Copies of this chain bind each other. A is one copy, B any other.
Amino acid sequence: MALDLDTGLPSTRQIQTIIREETEVEMKLTTGDVLTGKVRWQDTHCICLLDPHEQPTIIWRQAIAFIKPKL
């Protein structure tokens, strides 16, 4: 499963921008949970979100419905 992220994809690039600019985001999961924080890293399986107390949550991509900048 040594699949790399395709950095040419808009979705990959935009998440990279969100990481670099430390944008506050809101993530809606298929469980109905809404998590907010900053994205620290992404890989092919997961996205890691830091909550306001810098606690990391490792989120599986299959459980993500959408992500958007927090207003």
Contact of A44 among B9, B35, B69 (CB under 8 A): B9
Please tell me the number of chain A residues within 8 Å of chain B, measured between CB atoms. 42
Q: Are A9 and B45 CB-contacts (below 8 A) given A1-B4, A30-B65, A64-B63?
A: yes
Chain B residue numbers with a CB within 8 Å of A58 are 11, 14-15, 66-68
Q: Can you list 26 A-B pairs, Cβ within 8 angstroms, ordered by A?
A: A1-B3, A1-B6, A6-B44, A9-B44, A9-B46, A10-B46, A11-B43, A11-B58, A12-B45, A14-B48, A14-B58, A15-B58, A29-B65, A30-B31, A30-B63, A30-B65, A31-B32, A55-B68, A55-B69, A56-B68, A57-B68, A58-B67, A59-B66, A60-B65, A62-B62, A63-B66
